[in-house]
Amino acid sequence: MGMMGGGMAGGWSSNLGGGGSGPRSSWASSASMSDGWDNEYGSLYNPRLVRRFGRYIEPHKRPLLAAIIANAVFAVAFNIQVLVVYRALQGALDNGVLSELNRIAIAFGVIVAVSWAAEFLRQWLMANVGHPILRRMRQEVFDHLMRLEHRFYDRGEVGAIMSRVTSDVQVLQEMLTSGVLTVIGDIFGLAIIMVVMLIIDWQLALVSFAVLPILIVSMAWWSKRARRAFLETRVAIAAVNSTLNEDLNGVRVVQSLNRESENARRFDRINNWNLRATRRAGLLSAAIMPLVEILIALATALIIVVAALRLSGGSLDEAAGVAAIIAFAIGIQRFFDPVRDLVLQYTMFQRAMAGAERVFEVLDTDPEIEDAPDARDLPDVTGHVQFDNVSLEYVDGVRVLFDLDLEVQPGETVALVGETGAGKTSITSLITRNYEVTEGAVRIDGHDVREVTRASLVQRVGVVLQDPFLFSGTVLDNILYGNLNATREQAISAAAVVGADEWIERLPQSYDTPLAERAQNLSIGQRQLIAFARAILSDPRILVLDEATANVDSQTEALIQQAIARVLRGRTAFVIAHRLSTIRSVDRIIVLEYGRILEQGSHQELLELDGEYAKLYRMMYAAQESVEFDEDAALAVLDRMRERVQANGAAAANGANAGAESNEPALALD
Amino acid sequence: MTALTANAPSGRRLRVPLSILVIGRVLRFALPYWKGLTITAIAILATAGFAMATPWLLRWAIDTAISTNLVEGETVISITGWLVAVAGLALVGAAVLRGASMFVQRYLAEWVGQTVAYDLRNAIYQRLQTLSFRFHDGAETGQIMVRATQDVEVVRMFINFGGVQLTFTLVLGIGTLAIMLAINWQLALMVWAFLMIIAIRSAFVSRRLRPIWNDVQESQAQLGTVLQEALSGIRVVKAFGRAEFEGEKFGKAAGFLQRRSYDASMVQAVNMPMMTMLGAAAIVVTIWYGGREVVNGNFTVGELTMFLMFLTVLQMPIRGVGWMVMMVPRAATAGVRIFEILDQESEVQEREGAVAPAHPQGHIKFDQVSFAYDPRSPVLGGIDFEAKPGELIALLGLTGSGKSTVVNLIPRFYDVSAGRVSFDDQDVRDWPLEALRQQVAIVQQEVFLFAASLKENIAYGRPDATDEEIEAAAKLARIHNFVQRLPDGYDTWVGERGANFSGGQKQRIAIARALLMDPRVLIFDDSTSSVDAATEFEIQQAMAALMRGRTTFVIAHRLRSLREADQILVLDQGQIVQRGQHEDLLQQGGLYSEIYELELRDQESAQTAEPLEAAAVGGSS
């Protein structure tokens, strides 16, 4: 939308396509609000970035060259029209011979045809070059993002990363599909029209050129202001849309807390900010066209006066003089248009450079974990897992696991217990090599996880996370996510194993029921059961349940517990759970503290040990460390609040009706 | 109600009378700004007038001031110096005036368009905020957002371009056509033949482009969805090694986007040069035929110049005609979609002259209440119970048994289908909505936090709360200590949906929220079971603080709550199948003991096994 002003000033053509392009979907990436608005514009030309573009352009060298030639041909053909008009008029005025007029009309016709062909060729070639380049770039960024590991995502926000792939590439699209060639075309065009004008009458040409500095200076001033104004409109509309989106998602809370009118006021404030920003931008975009028109008229007037002076002085041939006036009247527009256009493109180039910078930044982030060159596939395993003296640092020097030794036998179920930050998830993340160990080794059936391919590794390890993330698509699609080669029957039996088949079949379209956004048409428990089915579909030997039952209600948890009992049979399992009752029956409980194993053993053994686990277990129902504060004082504060509110309420009730009207923004709707 | 789902009439063509009706309604939004519109109209006339003045003055300059004449094939001129000066000045003057009026026209068009968009957004926002749960249950956020963003944008563009610019183009077109016809009707017709072809072609092309652009937009949204999912679910993608699979999904969406963008570019590649050529052809004809006429003496050099200038002036507006015309049906479709939201009436309406009792006690009574979203499948039937002020009522039942629906009827998020819910012996439908909801606070299972500071989130229901009050509520909710450990304390920014906070923390924030509301009735949806032991204890304490002296409804799976409840309502398929206190219900058998065996027994054994329980109960009071 930023170029809307430019589009309007630049003529209708760019509006014709305006419907679909531009960051209309800005609300979707509104999370990126904090991201990059200040880096919206880069330097005009960055040789390093341009060189990198070279790699994308390389395969399209020839069509691109052809497009540039076509562009030059067009510029010549288009601007030479002015010269032809001049000659035609001069001829006609000089001797009134009609045959010459015919010849010139034919010549003109040819030129028009040539410029049509060149222009068509240029646009056709660019469509063929630009879109594939963009597609390639998008795909590369996406594939690269998929290759980056947990460590990268721990840092960044999804919204910010998303805007790299969407809006930043979008800006590059503008530049690639129209920007670059427009600029080249403008430069060609400008050069040629100047030559044409000089040929027709160099003195009149110089007079017209004299207006140019005014145009450039005022355009530069304008563009600087406009840039800021349009940036503000983009930020403002993003704020409007994200507020709307958030309050829509939270509408139930809003209503239960009586926030409607307060929220309406706040929304109005942001909406109003957007209104003011767009009006300011409107002021600027409305100003540019008239300015150019006035300057064109000024130049035309100067030409007439100068021509008239010279005609009356006799220093200018009469026919040539009048023909020149007419030719200049037409040509001056073609002289001003590219200049104005170049100034507008300047801003776009800056945005494109900043966008490119961000895109390449993603591509330059190397994945830290990649398959070793000689990595083999992990063969069928029994599920023996060994942590051999493992240490882990997420950040250099900050250790989260210390010399961990742990051996888990095939078919054994171990539970990891400990406070947040004790290292439970760190341990399970190492099994699928989401992070690289700092020291030591993790082995599955004796194979170091660093020596096997990740693809084969994850196939043997099923993971169920606390947040059962489901993808859009049907219920079946989501179960099949665990194993793309599985049949429908296998998926259904996986669902049956976890006890989900019964309610899935009651869904409107059973397994083919499409899921709403974020699977909100299912309860958390149902989502989690699908995630379970998904995890066991590939029949993994090792299963990781990372707080898999944390978010479900106890009724669903009971169901899941039954499912787990069935699913764990014959598999090695790592279970992380806060609720100790859920892990009482596991083979071995490992109690962690600050990245070290504190104690381990069965539930009964640990209770008898009367150590940390026993303490945790008791605390489950009987925590003693009550938080000390003066409860009566706090209650007294709230009592005073009640009195204050009641007093205010009584006062407000009187003036409420009068006040309510004026407080609401002008919304005389229905 | 279900109209706001994916199969909304996005691309559907409307019947013409309906279109006119909708456009009329859209325009009514612009009506309050009639002053701006009137000035815009004047500006349009002035701009068009001055736009025609420039070629006219040029003609006058050539024909009169320079007095160009063709005498027997020779050009003869006689220059009147002061006339030339006047012509020059007049040209600049006309341009300045035209510039000024054009500025006014463009600015006001934008102004009115943006203001209408602003009004529409506010209207949509307010409507959405007040529509009952029934509407929001059936609506998709994404679909509503599209209406509030893209459709509003279409309406704005319609007012600006479809309205103002189209009018300008029409005025300019008719004006120049009239002048040209008056001067040389043959040439005028020839030239206008070309211009008409351009205009018609432009309409034709816009029409062809529209579905393509829709596809482009659609596939951009699709691409966004794939991207968003792959990134949000990156851990799942990694856990299953599905990077390639996601890459293919993305590739498919990107491929479609590329194909359709390419199609659009190709239509343009054919069309734009064609337009340019047609425009140039009109110039060729003018020079060829006009030149002959000049030589024949039927046409002056100035008039020829004027014709050429008109062509330059008309070129761009005529090219845009198609696009502007197409704004009308687009705006009609967008308008329908916007009004679909604005016309939704909330079923929950405040009764005229509703008055709240002076001193609410929190006495809740359900009288033979039934409820159904759809008459064929009732959700609740014959619900009958009473909660005296200060009582604790626990609701128990399987998923889908109607527990949440029962409590949602108290603050009137839905209206009963039959029967009556009363609060202090007054039907909730006779309460002012705000007063009613002020007295009923809900702590939801999934706590929704807003992107604001922690302080604002706690004070969400009482924006005028003082810092002291907020802190007191936080203390009672057992969240104060945690907040104090945060670097920014109460000013800590809560990210999107509070992703940085654990479930237990969010729940306590919600409890603090409810404390500030100071309601008589409290609803605690406590079916989230699992938080770690310490958190669980703190939530228990916070709850105890909140419940004190209030009528409380707990959707409970916690043995403690059930034991303490004055009354337990066991629901099954929308009916109360058992009621009473814990011990009695256990004795009765039935659903209660089934659930007890399944879920609650564990807690029992853990509690009785641990002698420390007594200390905990002591500590929590």
pLDDT reading at A304 higher than 70:
yes
Same fold, B32-209+265-342 and B364-620: no
Domain ranges for chain B, please list them: 32-209+265-342, 364-620
Q: Is there a contact between A248 and B126 (Cβ–Cβ < 8 Å)?
A: no
According to DSSP H, which parts of B131-184 are helical? 133-138, 141-146, 152-157, 166-183
Q: Which residue has the higher pLDDT, B598 or A298?
A: A298
Instruction: State the amino acid at position A584 in one-letter form.
Output: R
Residues of chain A neighbouring B443 (CB-CB closer than 8 A): none
pLDDT reading at B343 higher than 80:
yes
- CATH assignment of A385-621, given 3.40.50.2000, 3.90.180.10, 3.40.50.150, 3.40.50.300? 3.40.50.300
Q: Identify the pLDDT of residue A181.
A: 77
d(CA B145, CA B143): 5
Nearest neighbour of B530 by CB, restricted to A15, A278, A579: A579
Task: Give the mean pLDDT of A620-638.
Answer: 65
Q: Which residue has the higher pLDDT, A192 or B328?
A: A192
Instruction: Please tell me the least confidently modeled range out of A326-330, B77-81, B502-506.
Output: B77-81
Q: Count of CB atoms within 10 A of residue A625's CB? A: 10
Q: Identify the pLDDT of residue B364.
A: 92
What pLDDT digit, counting tens, does each position of B453-498 carry? 888 888 888 888 888 889 888 888 888 888 887 778 888 887 655 6
Q: Identify the pLDDT of residue A28.
A: 35
What pLDDT digit, counting tens, does each position of B524-542 carry? 876 555 555 566 677 777 7
Element (H, E) at A272: helix A260-313
pLDDT reading at A162 higher than 80:
no
Q: Assess A638–B contact: CB distance below 8 Å, yes or no.
A: yes
* A625 — pLDDT class (breaks 50, 70, 90): very low
Residues of chain A neighbouring B141 (CB-CB closer than 8 A): 245, 248-249, 517
Structure tokens at B368: 């033979």
Residues 6+ apart with CB under 8 A from A126: A67, A177, A178, A181, B265, B269
CATH 3.60.21.10 correct for B364-620: no
Question: Which of A565, A586, A588, A571 lies closest to A383 in space, CA to CA?
Answer: A571
Complex ipTM: 0.78
Q: Identify the pLDDT of residue B614.
A: 36
pLDDT reading at B280 higher than 80:
yes
Q: Identify the pLDDT of residue B386.
A: 92
d(CA A607, CA A620): 13
Q: Is there a contact between A553 and B528 (Cβ–Cβ < 8 Å)?
A: yes
d(CA B238, CA A431): 12
What pLDDT digit, counting tens, does each position of B410-428 carry? 988 888 988 999 998 889 8
Q: Assess B237–A contact: CB distance below 8 Å, yes or no.
A: yes
d(CA A485, CA B245): 12
Q: Which residue has the higher pLDDT, B124 or A367?
A: B124
Instruction: Please tell me the least confidently modeled range out of A393-407, A568-582, B73-87.
Output: B73-87
Residues of chain A neighbouring B481 (CB-CB closer than 8 A): 627
Task: Give the mean pLDDT of B174-184.
Answer: 88
Q: Is the dihedral of CA B542, B544, B550, B552 positive or negative?
A: positive
* Residue B325: alpha-carbon gap to chain centroid: 26
Q: Is there a contact between A162 and B228 (Cβ–Cβ < 8 Å)?
A: yes
Residues of chain B neighbouring A161 (CB-CB closer than 8 A): 231
Instruction: Please tell me the least confidently modeled range out of A540-554, B114-128, B325-339.
Output: A540-554
Q: Identify the pLDDT of residue B119.
A: 92
% of chain B at pLDDT higher than 70: 88
* B603 — pLDDT class (breaks 50, 70, 90): low
d(CA A495, CA A428): 24
Q: Which residue has the higher pLDDT, A166 or A479?
A: A479
Domain ranges for chain A, please list them: 60-201, 385-621
Structure tokens at A39: 């880096």
As to burial, measured by CB atoms within 10 angstroms (0-12 exposed, 13-18 middle, 19+ buried), residue A660 is: exposed
3-class secondary-structure state, position B231:
helix
Instruction: Please tell me the least confidently modeled range out of A379-388, A395-404, A614-623.
Output: A614-623
pLDDT reading at A544 higher than 80:
yes
What pLDDT digit, counting tens, does each position of B155-172 carry? 888 888 778 888 888 888
What pLDDT digit, counting tens, does each position of B547-584 carry? 788 899 988 767 777 888 899 999 888 889 989 888 88
Instruction: Give the long-range contacts of residues A516-519, CB within 8 A, separation 24 or more.
Output: A516/B140, A517/A472, A517/B140, A517/B141, A517/B142, A518/A470, A519/A470
Question: Which of B454, B495, B496 lies closest to B471 in space, CA to CA?
Answer: B454
**What does pLDDT average to over chain B?**
81
Beta-sheet pairing, B418-423 with B364-374: antiparallel
**What does pLDDT average to over chain A?**
77
Give the range with max mean pLDDT: A250-264, A648-662, B455-469. Answer: B455-469
Note whether A322 contacts B515, CB cutoff 8 Å: no
d(CA B450, CA A246): 7
pLDDT reading at B193 higher than 60:
yes
Cα distance from B22 to chain A (closest Cα, Å)? Answer: 14
Residues 407-466 of B with CB under 8 A from A: 411, 413, 434, 437-438, 440-442, 444-446, 448, 450-451, 460-463, 465-466
Instruction: Please tell me the least confidently modeled range out of A7-11, A276-280, A410-414, B228-232.
Output: A7-11
Note whether A622 contacts B529, CB cutoff 8 Å: no
Question: In chain B, whose CA is at the least distance from the CA of A536?
Answer: B240
Q: Identify the pLDDT of residue A667.
A: 33
Using alpha carbons, list the distances in angstroms from residue A376 to A53, A457, A646: 36, 10, 74
What pLDDT digit, counting tens, does each position of B211-237 carry? 888 788 778 777 877 887 787 777 777
Cα distance from B72 to chain A (closest Cα, Å)? Answer: 8
Q: How much is the pTM?
A: 0.76
Q: Identify the pLDDT of residue A173.
A: 74
Note whether A123 contacts B265, CB cutoff 8 Å: yes
Note whether A104 contacts B287, CB cutoff 8 Å: yes
Which of A29, A81, A93 has the most B C-beta neighbours within 10 Å, making it the best mutation to test the interface with B?
A: A93
What pLDDT digit, counting tens, does each position of A118-137 carry? 988 988 888 888 888 888 88
Q: Identify the pLDDT of residue B2.
A: 38
Q: Assess A502–B contact: CB distance below 8 Å, yes or no.
A: no
Question: In CATH, what number does B32-209+265-342 get?
Answer: 1.20.1560.10
Task: Give the mean pLDDT of A157-186.
Answer: 74
Which of A377, A555, A616 has the most B C-beta neighbours within 10 Å, making it the best mutation to test the interface with B?
A: A555
Residues of chain B neighbouring A16 (CB-CB closer than 8 A): 202, 205-206, 209, 268, 319-320, 323
CATH superfamily for A60-201 is ABC transporter type 1, transmembrane domain (1.20.1560.10)
Residues 398-417 of A with CB under 8 A from B: none
Look up tokens 């001829």; give the residue: A91
Q: Is there a contact between B461 and B440 (Cβ–Cβ < 8 Å)?
A: no
